[in-house]
Structure 1
Amino acid sequence: MGIIMIFVGGLPFPSESSSSPQPQGWDTLQALLDHPFLESASSTFKAIPERKFSVPQESESERRWVYLFQREYATVDPAYVDFVGTDEATTCMGLAIRNPETGMTSVAHLDSPKVVDMGLSQMVSLLVQPNKDVELDVHLVGGFEDVSPNHGNCNTRSENQANLDGYSFPLAAKIVETLCKSRERFHIRTLCILRHNTRRDPEGNAYPIFNGFMVSTSTGSIIPASFDETSRCPAEIVRRIRVSASYEDSRWKGRLLETYETQTDLFKIAPCCWSLYQLHIALSLQNYSDSEILLMCSTSPSAEAPDFVKNLRRVWDYLIEYPDWRETFPMEQPRVFQRTAEGGWKAKRC
């Protein structure tokens, strides 16, 4: 057994042996889900009322925030930011990593196992000083049992069985595997994922209990949260488009999208180009019904938030109005936003 890099409840947590017949991370994830400390932590987290965040309702002392969209990450300094969070996660997961000695906090919205390895490296790069031994706190929230829980209990797995694992479980297993392999030491504090984040209706259909969270940078506390249009900013629509555009951009392959500059407390949206293909998709899909759009565009159609289709239509409207990405990024320069005195964001003049 190698050096143990995961801790739970103050104690080292052994990872699976290499002789396990399951894919890496599989058995360790199952054991973590069953751990009494993490089961209790999930129960405590679920007992906290979800905070519905809207900028006009917040006090002046709580308006310094950073919000992350799908596939984005940000590392924030408590000197500049009071809290950082994300939502809109169904089969995706939100990962928070915090240095308890400095309060530096990194949050990511992970949507695929393909971005986990590089993404974790991006997240911890500003959290730990060279030659400094520190145990980083980890919170993982999101995902749900989007397939039958029996699929996760098979002793042997064929290729066909692997296709039945849905989206949430493979993502969670990859995150756990990467934490185990990392050179950093991680103390898992919250693991409200998969069965711990699943509710069922009378017909047995599964839904996530929570789709998001926010972390207080000063205390390290984490609570369930949802955000509205006033708080998912700045440049909401452009950042949503950038998620789709990044799939066609080799520069972002395997990486999380950088949006926020830690040292300057600025949002800097790097230029991204959308193609005629994306415009074609927008024109093709805009006339479908809401239910048809859900089936075609979501990994979990029955579990999406009420504004899921509305936000897609807003993105398509923007693409149709501005088919040339250079109108959004004149002279191919990034869009930069600075914090206002009230804690919000405004475009920075060059």
Structure 2
Amino acid sequence: MEHPSLVSASKAFKAIPERKFSLAEESGTERPEKSKWVYLFQREYATVDPALVDFVGTDEATTCVGFAIRDRKNGMVSVAHMDSPNVVDKGLNQMLSTFVHQSFDDDLDHDSSSSSSESDVRLNGYSLPLCTKIIKSLRKRTEKFHLQTLFVLARNTWRDSEENAHPIFSGFVVETSTGSVIPARFDNTSRCPDEMIRRIRASAAYEDRKWDGKLLETYDTQTDTFKIAPCRWSTENQERIARFLRAQSDSYILLNCSTSPFAEAPDFVQNERKKWDYLIENPDWRKAFPMEQPHVFERTGDGGWTRC
């Protein structure tokens, strides 16, 4: 953390203006730029081809870690939103399997550019074990990694008047043409496609043994399509939890459904309630994923997505 190059990189990253991503919310309103991006929710990853995608990133990270790897030889970029040390080893295998040449001499840039504060470590111990696991796992691998940015823990912390810690930035994107990492924030129009299903997968994947220790499959690199892999959950259990939590106060939800209740975005509770409403109305995972087939979305001309 105190290596001069990492300190310098953190200062440079902190000085970059945060970029906001938004699709037009009103019909007929044009988006100022026709950029193509891939957005990732918690526990998801995607590897993108710079010939097809301009930006790939994530946000809503407080005690999670946004993690990016770029292959210097071909420019391919893989980004993950890691939420636990348990997904690091298999998650790295998933991220690297898509784009790394089958050679131990690959030169790979690595950035951990989002999330976690000092108090997260002191109070709950979520962020430090995750960051430590990522670094240890990278050191054990045979590929060559060049650590470019490590903007985590104390580097990414500010404190309010009551000494509650907040991340300076809760998200980032990688600009695929250059490999530049930029602080970023997405709104509810740009966290797409299939927002509710993807949020439910993140919270219910622990019930599906297929995803033990793995990141959630979300995006197909070769075709530039979202292929949101199915996830099983206990219909009775998830509906019961959803009904109970939906009836609680906003303060209860913040304190019991977040690892960092004082640092969440203003729309955190609203997004949780929307997820529970969906689960109550659609409790059976088999209806969400008929015949256990993925949800497939292709890109539209304006950079949005449509269900195939």
How far did 1:60 drift? Answer: 4.4
88, 99, 107: which one pairs with 1:116?
88
Amino acid corresponding to residue 311 of structure 1 in structure 2: N
Q: How does 1:1-350 map to 2 (within 5 A)?
A: 33-56=1-24, 58-62=31-35, 64-131=36-103, 133-147=105-119, 166-275=125-234, 276-348=236-308
Q: Percent identity?
A: 63
- Residues 6-29 of structure 1: per-residue CA shift (max 9 Å, x gap): xxxxxxxxxxxxxxxxxxxxxxxx
* Long gaps (5+) in structure 1: 1-32, 152-163
Q: Give, as a single letter, the amino acid of the residue that structure 2 aligns with 1:166.
A: G
Shift of 1:186: 0.7
Q: Distance in 2 between matches of 1:215 and 1:251?
A: 29
3-state DSSP class of the match of 1:302? Answer: coil
Gaps of 5+ in 2: 25-29
Larger Rg: 1
The amino acid that maps onto 1:73 is Y
* Alignment partners' CA distance in 2, 1:292 and 1:145: 22
Please give the alpha-carbon distance, in whole angstroms, between the structure 1 residues aligned to 2:144 and 2:229. 32
Contact 1:73–1:106 (Cα < 8 Å) also in 2: yes
The code of the aligned residue for 2:70 comes to R
3-state SS in 2 of match to 1:336: strand
Amino acid at match of 1:238: I
Provide the secondary structure at the position in 1 that maps to 2:230. Answer: coil
In the alignment, is the contact (CA less than 8 A) between 1:146 and 1:300 conserved in 2?
no
How much does 1:287 deviate?
1.2
CA distance in 1, matches of 2:163, 2:258: 20
Alpha carbons 1:142, 1:194 under 8 Å: kept: no
1:100-133 Cα distance to aligned partner (Å, 9 max, x none): 2211000000000000011111111123212362
Counting matched residue pairs gives: 302
Cα-Cα RMSD: 1.6
Distance 1:173 1:131 in 2: 26
* Distance change in 2, residues 1:219/1:198 (3 Å): same
SS in 2 for 1:346: strand
Distance 1:113 1:148, change over 3 A: closer
Q: TM-score, normalised by structure 2?
A: 0.94
CA distance in 1, matches of 2:107, 2:193: 32
